[in-house]
A and B are shown apart, each in its own frame.
Chain A
């Protein structure tokens, strides 16, 4: 099942470069996601610290490695009906997953990242969906975006010294289960997390399919959980889909 965006949502996407889906994940599914997140974050933490020590990982956040292989809930959110229709709409029905980041960000005096776009404006449309796994208040490392910064002719933008000094930005505190979809050629960041609570979120990275971008082996390890043509397509599992 897929919910296509309304005309208003399509207009907002074109104009601002983002959409917010409140309660995108909810109820038992949200609990399942939170439980799996906490379990695997705890399991993988020591290994992450060892990688920090050898300078193979940054000290200010960490991602659960290979999450799709760890719990099927991480697969189920890739094509979740709350936002799958919008992903399809904005990629001309040809979306592929590039990868997930199941990420915990520590409270720190400074945000772990500055304002930036991920790709240039001529890149095939590149979309991220950030899902809050816990409640993320203002000042808790919430997502920040400059509406309209994805459009050709916008900017130029410069990284300010303070996150909150970015002209025209909007920050997105939200409840657990909120999903924020944005065009990642727009300028975005994680605002400072000056709370005492780590920010837990999942960042899903998608793109409109281009030949050879993702090979059929990249997600082969989860092929047994991909039983519909649509799901096999988003995970680029079929050579034919290239």
Chain B
């Protein structure tokens, strides 16, 4: 069974060849290359990974991601971004995904009414054309919704049962104003003691085309690695979604300094010591291989 890191970001220094947006944690001269990731993967026995676009939504800003997918076709699959309010998202998605190794697209905003009590017409959601395109072209939707949008997901999942959906980072839905960075430049997201996602994204467990990442612990926990206060949440997701619909990921490169890539390769064993070896293997890669259709390794 391969070991697959189901959510990482790679980027390189800004250049004409590889343009990208910059931010406080992705300055122009920061280089977190695919080769650096592959080195760590080799050291720790990780075979493959999902590269998730960072640094902009235009076709040009995907240049480095496309380069990595082309260079290492049996190692990586990719997830792209779609510009908000793109007049023709299908054209953008097709151009990015056609024969490139990009298998899906990440969404943060779902573009529907903020109030669950408002009547829902899913075709009026601004992201409806993106989901429709995903349904027609078999793309994966990689979803990290804002808290105010979390209630919209079941309507889309119900409308498009053929679309494979991956909920990012424990199915969390960050709230407005709760997103900061720590001194290491890592995203930090403040969550309440009472896990509100149990009443929104966790409820999607009934849909068999929905899976969830076991990742991002460093951003939500106020405890040091292995983030024991999140053990219960892992167990709940495991129990609700089942061993075949949860996927391990590291969120490289934010975890490089603390706790380190190698530490994260054992986090599932530490947080879920009760699971069977076969279930661990599914979480660590078997599920990603099957659900995301990773190619067999050449060597």
Contacts and interface: CB of A to CB of B under 8 A. Distances in A.
Contacts of B99: none
Interface in B164-212: 173-178, 191-192, 196, 198-200, 202-206, 208
Interface in A33-58: 45, 49, 52-58
Given A53-B176, A54-B177, A56-B175, A112 B240 contact: no
A109 B192 CA distance: 25
Contacts of A61: 199
B192 A112 contact: no
A54 B176 contact: yes
- Give the one of B157, B178, B203 with max A CB within 10 A: B203
Contacts of B206: 110, 161-162
A112 B203 contact: yes
Given A58-B199, A59-B200, A53 B240 contact: no
Nearest to A113: B199
Interface string A81-106: 00000000000000000000000101
B205 A55 contact: no
Given A110-B203, A114-B240, A161-B205, A55 B117 contact: no
A113 B116 CA distance: 15
Contact of A111 (B114, B115, B203, B239): B203
B27 interface: no
Nearest to B149: A59
B173 A49 contact: no
B154 A108 contact: yes
Q: Is the interface of B mostly helix, strand, loop or mixed?
A: helix
A56 B198 contact: no
B194 to A, nearest CB: 9
Contacts of B150: 59
A114 B236 CA distance: 11
B285 to A, nearest CB: 24
A41 to B, nearest CB: 10
B9 interface: no
Contacts of B178: 54-55
Nearest to A198: B117
B158 interface: yes
Contact of B154 (A53, A104, A109): A109
A113 to B, nearest CB: 6
B147 interface: yes
Contacts of A52: 114, 147-148
Nearest to B196: A58
A110 B154 CA distance: 7
Given A52-B147, A59-B147, A114-B203, A109 B175 contact: no
B174 A60 contact: no
B75 interface: no
Nearest to B208: A161
B154 A55 contact: no
Nearest to A163: B206
Contacts of B117: 45, 104, 106, 198
A113 B200 CA distance: 9
A44 to B, nearest CB: 13
Contacts of A112: 199, 203
B155 interface: yes
A198 B147 CA distance: 21
A57 B196 contact: yes
A159 B240 contact: yes
B148 A60 contact: no
Given A52-B147, A53-B114, A198-B117, A58 B240 contact: no
Given A45-B115, A49-B114, A55-B175, 4 more contacts: A52-B148, A59-B148, A108-B116, A114-B198
Interface of B: 114-117, 146-148, 150-151, 154-155, 157-158, 173-178, 191-192, 196, 198-200, 202-206, 208, 239-240
20 contacts: A53-B146, A53-B147, A55-B147, A55-B176, A55-B192, A55-B196, A56-B175, A58-B199, A58-B200, A59-B151, A60-B116, A60-B199, A106-B117, A108-B154, A109-B158, A113-B198, A114-B198, A114-B240, A159-B240, A161-B208
